[in-house]
Amino acid sequence: MKNLSKEIVQRIEKISRPVKIMHVCGSHEHTIMQHGIRTLIPKEVEIVAGPGCPVCCVPSREVDECLYLAREGVTIATFGDMLRVPGTKGSLADAKADGADVRIVYGVNNAVEMAQNTDNEVVFMAAGFETTAPTTAAELVNGPPENFSVLSSHRLIPPALKFLIESGEVNLNALIEPGHVSTIIGTKPYEPFSEKYGIPQVVAGFNPFDVLIAIYMVLKQFKDGKAEVQNEYKRAVRKEGNIKAQELLEEVFYITSREWRGFPEIPNSVYEVKKEFSDYNAREKFDIEIGESKPLVTGCICGPILRGVARPEECKLFKTECNPMNPVGACMVSKEGTCNIAYRYGSFD
């Protein structure tokens, strides 16, 4: 195994060139940091992390919506990572400490079971990219109990990539695409980025060899004067993706424009529940009044980190006031967050 990684690194060195490659996946960042991949490859090949952590990307406004419902006596069910993500006036963990009924679940099915065993209203705060959105859709199609609804924070990766490319802020030259998301959407949605903007792309798996091979494949495209979508993760990703999951998404959700944490409104970047399922849409079911939402002023630079233009080490709070035990910002809360990963595995360099 050691010889294999050495050989891939040698091949990378042979065709190395100054390039900025962005990935948008917490699991990729985890692999890169855990295995010191940035230290193995030439310095001129820069790997930057983009908005790859679904919980981190949930903006204050959507946390505030949940906080409002929690404080109105609704039971909130969500993933553990969501509890400490800050809204305008605190987090769901704060609401729980104040007596609100906020519960951790491992999946939407647990939240449905919860609703089956209580008369109270149960709202599932549904964070996640295209990978997890089909499981939410499947529960709605199955007809959950009347006291169950969903507050959708499901987001789509390709519109965020389009936004980042067109903004020019991060100046990326190539993309390593997320394996998990791609199992659902396939490789076709990425094609316009190569065709229109000349960006080489490789869909990659999550072990260190996958990532090293993907870096090599990106560099090889530059060497060969190509810009296309290549699939390193063929053992899990097909060009057309998972059609059944796509049909479920299409049946239950429509796509709308909304802000992400660190981003303004990104066109067509969020899944919202269709009117045919509006009985299960918490935003339709309840009058949610939250007023103006804005991030807490803390010195946190999660926004630039999520856009790939800053690194955790550039934040004055990193490893001091902000750490996994006491996270100040969303990027330190989740194990998929860039700051949390950098805290656990050391600096980028």
Contacting residues toward ligand SF4, per CB under 6 A? 300-302, 305, 312, 315, 317-318, 322, 328-329, 331-332, 339
Cβ distance to ligand SF4 smaller for residue 158 or 312: 312
Name the minimum Å distance from CB 296 to ligand SF4: 10
Q: Could you please report the per-residue DSSP string of 185-198?
A: H-SGGGHHHHHHH-
Cβ distance to ligand SF4 smaller for residue 26 or 312: 312
Q: 212 in helix, strand or coil?
A: helix
- Measured from each CB, the residue nearest to ligand SF4 is 329
- Calculate the alpha carbon distances from 159 to 169, 253, 269, 297 in Å: 16, 16, 5, 28
The C-alpha atoms of residue 271 and residue 242 are separated, in whole angstroms, by 17
Select from 85, 63, 51, 67 the least CA-distant residue to 266.
Answer: 51
Name the minimum Å distance from CB 329 to ligand SF4: 3
Name the minimum Å distance from CB 140 to ligand SF4: 33
The C-alpha atoms of residue 279 and residue 29 are separated, in whole angstroms, by 38
Beta strands in 247-321 (DSSP E): 253-260, 263-273
- For tokens 């990729």, name the residue: 28
Residue 58: Cβ within 10 Å count: 25
- Calculate the alpha carbon distances from 125 to 75, 95, 175 in Å: 10, 14, 30
Name the minimum Å distance from CB 321 to ligand SF4: 7
Cβ distance to ligand SF4 smaller for residue 135 or 293: 293
Cβ distance to ligand SF4 smaller for residue 55 or 315: 315
Cβ distance to ligand SF4 smaller for residue 29 or 177: 29
Cβ distance to ligand SF4 smaller for residue 140 or 315: 315
Name the minimum Å distance from CB 349 to ligand SF4: 17
Name the minimum Å distance from CB 84 to ligand SF4: 11
Token digits for 238? 């097909």
160 burial level (CB within 10 Å; 0-12, 13-18, 19+): buried
Contact, 341 vs 33, CB < 8 A?
yes
The C-alpha atoms of residue 322 and residue 334 are separated, in whole angstroms, by 13
Name the minimum Å distance from CB 61 to ligand SF4: 18
Residue 249: Cβ within 10 Å count: 23
Cβ distance to ligand SF4 smaller for residue 57 or 317: 317
